[in-house]
Structures are given as structure tokens and as C-alpha cells.
Structure 1
Amino acid sequence: MLAKFSDARTSSATRGRRSNRRTAWRVTAACISAVTVVSVAACSSSAGSATPSGPAAAPGQAANVDAAKAAIQGYTVPPTAFPVSDQLAQQLPAGKKFVYLQCSTPICALVGTFVQQAVKGLGGTLTVVNAGATAQTAQAAASSVGSMNPDAVLLGAIDPALFGGGLKKLSDAGTKVVSLQIAKDVKPYGITFNYLGEDLSRRNGKLLADWVIAKKGAETETVLYTLPALDISTPVQKAFQDEMKANCPSCKVRVVPIDVSTIGTTAPRTVVTDLQAHPDTKAAVFVSLSAAGGLPAALKAAGLSVTTVGFGPTAGNLQDIKDGALTAALNIDFPVSTWTAVDAAARLIEGGRPTASEEAGEVPEQFLEQQDITFDPTRGWSAFPDFAQRFATLWRAS
């Protein structure tokens, strides 16, 4: 379930926390217990437009651990600023029609839950259409939506190319098409607004690399498990590899792809087999931590131990972190980010534009380790437990 973020967080704790840090949300247990995860690859945090950076390790230097620690510092504490502050020009007329094109990953299902809540809060109606994971299913979904004459269509980080000309046809008919975290130029596909784009994916890749360097230091052998079917996978991978090379030239990194369709089934076996073949691996990093669902049991059965971290945890992942079975997650505030995308769609329906903060891709995000899971994992994480009330005020619905 993304965009441009400021990165003044690396040198000073005060400047590094401009108006968009992150904190934790609570959703109803039903919202997350119904889903397992994959990054919408959905779905990250802060208010500016740069990515975490610091002086790179000099040639011959093992690792710039201090720079890595500085890069992640602002993402290890709860954010404090809500990403939207401007009210709608007027309350959206009741009955506006929204459609959510839902991809096949668990995270897309999770986002769908929040889309449903947000549209209800706006007074609109929502139809969920399964877009699947292939061009055939995506194009059939877009074609079926055309006859619904929706006011707005939302989709997650599914590759827009899968829809062929379907999204552009919807846009040309006057439908506002809003996407979340698509890591490419969306204009050729007819998408009206892309919330949280490639900049977010690049930033997250850098953050994950710096977390590994900060925690493991030099001489670390790391594996990055990617999900090529997800639109965010490629930019996260490139940013991760570039940052590891810059800040830890002595670290070894290999990349292992995982088939998105194996999440929740054979993905843990793929990871275990790989780790058994590379026993010196110290850190396993996941483009989407959903691919680690069921991994703790598989690691235990194989007698393996490795530091784990990844983006976009599921409720099950959060429970594993709480239990000490997984190490950490870089978590985006899924409910707030999803409601923000719906907010942007409402503004477009009214004939306006998304807010400046939405254009800048502001969204709460935080690294969560065992000591941070003080909430019920089945209820999820959010920086703002009262997000629904906040949006109700912004939407003149309260």
C-alpha cells in the first residue's frame, strides 16, 4: 500500500522530524486477522522529498555504521504529525461510487478493508473487483468496471501495464483513477494521481540497508528476498544494493526472488533451502515481510537462526516479532495511508487537487522491534488510533 520524503532526520533529531514522523494505529481485530501480507506493495513515512543518506564508507573502509545509524534514527521512534490537515472544500455528496481493483496479495486485501472503511466514512458506496495477478484478469476487471460508471477507482501496487488500456479508458470517461505506491510513471496508463510512488520504494530500500549495517556492522553476508511480481520490488532492490555498496563495501549481498503466489504456502521452504545453501548469512531482508509468514517455524525445524527484517508486516509477522521469532519490520501506517488515498480521490471528484502533503507523499512509518510491539498485533499498528475521527473532521462528516 509511494513518494517524496524529506530526510532532515540524519543529523539532528529535531530537524529530522519535520512534520511527518510516524506512530501506531489500531484497527479492529477483524481488519487484519483476515489478511496476511505483501506490500502493496502498498504501501511509507515522513514529510519531505529526499531519501535517507549520509557520507558513504570510504574505499577500504569496512562499514560506515555511524552514517547508517543516523539514517534510520528518525524511523525508530513514533511519528507525531498527521499527514493531512486541509478540509474538503465541501462535504462529498452521498452515494458517490468508488471501485477498488484488488490485486491477489494479502496486503491488497488488507488495503481493501481500509478502503471500505474510508469510503463508508465519506458517505460513498464501494464495489471491490478482483484484478488478480495476470494481464488477463486485470484487463477483464477493468472492463467490468467500465459499465459501473464509477466516480473513482483505486488500486494498489499492481503493475498498471497489466490493465492494458483499461485504466486509461476509465480515466477518459471521467473516472478519477488513484493508485498507491506504483513505482513508475503512471501518466501513460491514465492514472489521475499516484500516492506514494517510486521515491518511497527507493527510500525504503535504503532504510532497510542502513538498518542491516547499523545492526550487524561490517563483514555481514546478507540476502534480499524480492517479489518480482510486485511493482515496488525493483526500486527497493536497487536502492538496497546501492546503499549496501556505498555504506558497507565489505558486506556481501545476494538477491533471491520469491514467487508471490507462494506466500503463505511454500515461500518459507524457499527461504530455508537458500539459507541452508548459504550458512554464513547473517541477515535476511524481505521486500515484503509477508513472504516471511510461517518462516519462524520453518527456521526452527531446520535449526537455523538469522536476523530478519522487511517492509510491510502482516498481523502474523507482528506477532512473530513480539514473540522474538522475527527481528524487525519497517511498517507503514496502512490505515492512514489508505484513507489518505481515498481523501485524494474525494478531492479529485470535487474538482480539486490532492493536498500538498499528499502530492509530497507524506505518510507515517516506523521500524518496529520486539520492544515496540506494545499493542495487540491482531489489531495492527497505526501512528494515530483516532485516524477515523480525524478524517471525519477533514471530510466535514462529524
Structure 2
Amino acid sequence: MIRGKTGRTWRRRGVASAVAGVALICMATSCSSNTGVSTAGARTGGEVPADVQANVDAFMQKPTSIGITEPLKSKPAGKSVAWIGSGTQNDNTAYGSFAEAAAVLNMKATKLEAGADPQKAARAIEQARSQGFDAVVLSGLVTSSVGPQLAALHDSGVKVVGYSTSLEGHTGPSIDFSFYSLPEARRFGGIAGDWTIADSGAAAKVLIAYPPDIAAAVAQRDGFADRLKDKCPSCEVKDLEFSFSELGGALPSRIVSAVQADPDIDYVFGTFGGVFVGVPEALRQAGLADRVKGVTVGGTPANMIQITDGNMLAASLDQGLDYTGYMVADAVARVFAGQEVPVDVYRGLDMPVQLHTADNIDFDPTTDWSGEPQDFREQFTYLWDK
């Protein structure tokens, strides 16, 4: 069980605040903007709903199974795959694991840099088509801004698999399959909302910091806010929109100003771990370090250290980055084999995840990761070799 506010005990040691990379999630060309304050009356607290607490308890457990049972019919031997990604630290880690898995599947993986620039992404897609790759993986790209290039690629017979491509489902125009759809992002936000309800004793006022031009971030924001509205009548949320250029710069001071302006704010939900770059230090300098807890999705190893040090950030919902590479490689192989890609494999999600807090981070986050089954590689290769 998670202790509420009255039982919070934090360890307070220093931690380097610089998060080396931001977990970029796919940008959309147009997203609805959620501004203002959503309130639900006086925050007197109440009983944590049983289903909320049960959900938190379940996701606190370390995943043990990849949840996929159907063997791969045939390996895509000799196929070439281009990975076109955002180039962030998390993207690079996932690609490294993908290349490892591709070798096991007898595929050749190549990385083409795109970054967050739609023009670079378009050129990378054109390059993949001209060089004759058999498949392309799109990782966190602005797919809506590269429609013509993507259509030409797919029409030429190239298989396309995505991750965080801002689709409302698992398939879309010129995309054979994609993980982390917008409904899944909303579910991630809802799980973070459950943790906040449980930890606060059903009496939280939350500042939600998110970039409104990133579709998955908006979806996480909506999932979080909707969960609090449905399950916590005494909870309130207040939005703080920001741009990526503010990360680690203007954003920490903006969060401090928002907390100072509203003494009732006691939680900050950042839609990805990079939101908390410099925030604990800024709150400490303002004398607010003990007043606010942070919760995020897709934390980095540096975020795990913030959590274990009690350095403002208290919880993170995470999927394994190495697991992501193997999961995407498995999907590419199944698309080639004409098989359906497994979905709904872990508590209604497409991938194993874990809520990390100081109570269950029993690993070295600089070398290990706990958001994935420990033997996930063996579980995948068993299915590939049957």
C-alpha cells in the first residue's frame, strides 16, 4: 500500500538534476489545447476507491512475462530495416536494443537520423525508399507532416512499423502497425492519476505540466485529469502548458511561480521525465521542496535517482527501453510473416510497465532497468526459434 500525505517520509540527499535525454513522444501538427483550471469543490479528502488502490498495487509489481504466446512463423532472414527516430537518449537506447534483436532475427538494421525536424524526417523517409530498405521503423516522428513521403514509401512495398506515431489506433495511413497509440497514452496518464489519488489520500491538487503541441502528451494529460475527475471528487487539476525550448530553462521557474501562486498545489504531473530537469533545485531554492511531490511517465535513470533520493519526484510509470527495441523487432518480423502483432498483453496495455517509487527501486538505475521482465530477451527468442 502507498502511504498518504500524513505518512510521507523522504530521504533528502543531493542528486544531479541534469537528465541527459528527454523521452520525446510524437508531435502532432495540431492538438487541442487544454487551459485553465478544472476544479471539483473543496478538497476535504476521502476514501481512496478500492479499484484505484488495486490498480496501483498491481502496477507496482515487476512484470515477469512479455504476455506474447504465439510463436513467430518464420524469421525475416535477409530483410533490411531502417530505423528513423528522434535521436534522443531514449530513442538511441531503444534502437541499440532493436539492432541487437534484428541480428537475432537475421535482419540488418540501419539508423537514419531525423530528430524532431519534419523536413529531416521527410528526407530520411525518401532516403529509405531510394536505398531499397524492406521495412522502416518510425520512432516518435511527426507522421502527419510527412504524409506524401510516407505514402510513397508504403506504396513501393516497404513495410512500416511505428512507435508513438500519434494514431488513435494501431494502424493508420501508410502504417502497418504502431505501438503507443493515443488511447494507450491516455491509459498511462490514468495510471499516474491513480497513484496520485492513492498517495494523496484522495485529496490532491495537481499542476499538470505538458507541451500542447505533442499529441501523446495531451493524451496523457487528458487521461490523468479524467481519472481524477471520475475517481476523486476532492481532487483538482491546474494546467501549465510549455514548449520544449523551456525544458531545464524557463520551465522550472514557471513551475515555482505556479506553486507560489496557489498554496494548495501539492503535486506536479509532468508528462515525461524531462519535465523535472532543474525543478527540484528551483523548488528548494524557493523554500518549497517539502510541499510538492512529482509524478511522471517514461522516467530516465536520472529520474529514478531523483525518486530514491526523495528529490521532489516521487513516482514514475515506465516501460523498459531495451524491451521496446525487442518489441518493435518482433512486430516487424510478424508483419513480414503476415501475422497479427499481439496487443493487450499486459493489464490491458501493449507492453509491460511498472510504477516506480522509492519503495520498489531496488536496482541500480545507472546500469539496470526494472520496467520490463528480467528475462524478456529469452522469452522473445524462444518464440522466434520455435
TM-score by length of 1: 0.79
Any residues of structure 2 matched to 1:139-154 within 5 Å, and which? 139-154=122-137
Q: Is the 8 A contact 2:75 2:106 kept in 1?
A: no
* Pair 1:153–1:284, CA change in 2 (3 A): same
* Pair 1:373–1:287, CA change in 2 (3 A): same
Q: Which residue of 2 aligns with 1:170?
A: 153
Structure 1 window deviating more from structure 2 (239-248 vs 280-289): it is 239-248
Shift of 1:58: 12
Q: Which residue of 1 aligns with 2:332?
A: 345
What one-letter code is carried by the residue in structure 2 that aligns with 1:259? Answer: S
Q: Which residue of 1 aligns with 2:179?
A: 195
What one-letter code is carried by the residue in structure 2 that aligns with 1:362? Answer: D
Query: Residue deviations 1:5-61, cap 9 Å, x none?
Result: xxxxxxxxxxxxxxxxxxxxxxxxxxxx9952325369xxxxxxxxxxxxxx99999
Q: Which residue of 2 aligns with 1:242?
A: 226
Structure 1 window deviating more from structure 2 (371-380 vs 309-318): it is 371-380
What one-letter code is carried by the residue in structure 2 that aligns with 1:247? Answer: K
Q: Is the 8 A contact 1:344 1:358 kept in 2?
A: no
Counterpart check, 1:40 vs 2:40 = no
Any residues of structure 2 matched to 1:287-302 within 5 Å, and which? 287-302=271-286
Q: Give the superposed CA RMSD.
A: 2.9
Q: Which residue of 2 aligns with 1:76?
A: 60
Identity in percent: 27
CA distance in 1, matches of 2:45, 2:264: 17
Counterpart check, 1:329 vs 2:316 = yes
Q: Is the 8 A contact 1:35 1:109 kept in 2?
A: no
Any residues of structure 2 matched to 1:348-359 within 5 Å, and which? 348-355=335-342
Q: Which residue of 1 aligns with 2:12?
A: none
Q: Is the 8 A contact 2:62 2:373 kept in 1?
A: no
Shift of 1:155: 1.7
Q: Is the 8 A contact 1:63 1:213 kept in 2?
A: no
Q: Which residue of 2 aligns with 1:230?
A: 214
CA distance in 2, matches of 1:100, 1:353: 21
Q: SS where residue 215 of structure 2 aligns?
A: coil
Query: Residue deviations 1:323-373, cap 9 Å, x none?
Result: 221211111123223311210101112333324657975311111111211
CA distance in 2, matches of 1:317, 1:364: 19
CA distance in 1, matches of 2:345, 2:205: 38
CA distance in 2, matches of 1:382, 1:85: 20
* Pair 1:315–1:364, CA change in 2 (3 A): same
Q: Is the 8 A contact 1:41 1:288 kept in 2?
A: no
* Pair 1:350–1:234, CA change in 2 (3 A): same
* Pair 1:83–1:319, CA change in 2 (3 A): same
* Pair 1:120–1:268, CA change in 2 (3 A): farther
Q: Which residue of 1 aligns with 2:365?
A: 377
Q: Is the 8 A contact 1:331 1:367 kept in 2?
A: yes
Q: SS where residue 256 of structure 2 aligns?
A: helix
| Structure 1 segments of 4+ aligned residues over 6 angstroms from their partners | 57-61
Q: Is the 8 A contact 1:205 1:239 kept in 2?
A: yes
What one-letter code is carried by the residue in structure 1 that aligns with 2:330? Answer: D
Which residue of 374, 377, 381 maps to 1:388?
Answer: 377
CA distance in 1, matches of 2:204, 2:344: 38
Q: SS where residue 367 of structure 1 aligns?
A: strand
Q: Is the 8 A contact 1:40 1:107 kept in 2?
A: no
What one-letter code is carried by the residue in structure 1 that aligns with 2:116? Answer: A
Counterpart check, 1:278 vs 2:267 = no
Q: SS where residue 184 of structure 2 aligns?
A: helix
* Pair 1:374–1:61, CA change in 2 (3 A): closer
CA distance in 2, matches of 1:75, 1:203: 12
Shift of 1:215: 0.9
CA distance in 2, matches of 1:341, 1:375: 25
Query: Residue deviations 1:152-180, cap 9 Å, x none?
Result: 11122333102132222211111111112
Q: Is the 8 A contact 1:195 1:361 kept in 2?
A: no
What one-letter code is carried by the residue in structure 2 that aligns with 1:300? Answer: R
Shift of 1:289: 1.8
Query: Residue deviations 1:276-332, cap 9 Å, x none?
Result: 333331001111122213332332233222111110000110111122212111111
CA distance in 2, matches of 1:246, 1:270: 28
TM-score by length of 2: 0.81
Q: Which residue of 1 aligns with 2:356?
A: 368
What one-letter code is carried by the residue in structure 2 that aligns with 1:365? Answer: V
- Structure 2 runs not aligned, ≥5 long: 1-17, 28-39
Q: Is the 8 A contact 2:19 2:274 kept in 1?
A: no
Counting matched residue pairs gives 350
CA distance in 2, matches of 1:229, 1:109: 23
CA distance in 2, matches of 1:117, 1:384: 17
Q: SS where residue 65 of structure 1 aligns?
A: coil
CA distance in 1, matches of 2:204, 2:42: 17
Q: Is the 8 A contact 1:36 1:315 kept in 2?
A: no
* Pair 1:302–1:62, CA change in 2 (3 A): closer
* Pair 1:386–1:70, CA change in 2 (3 A): closer
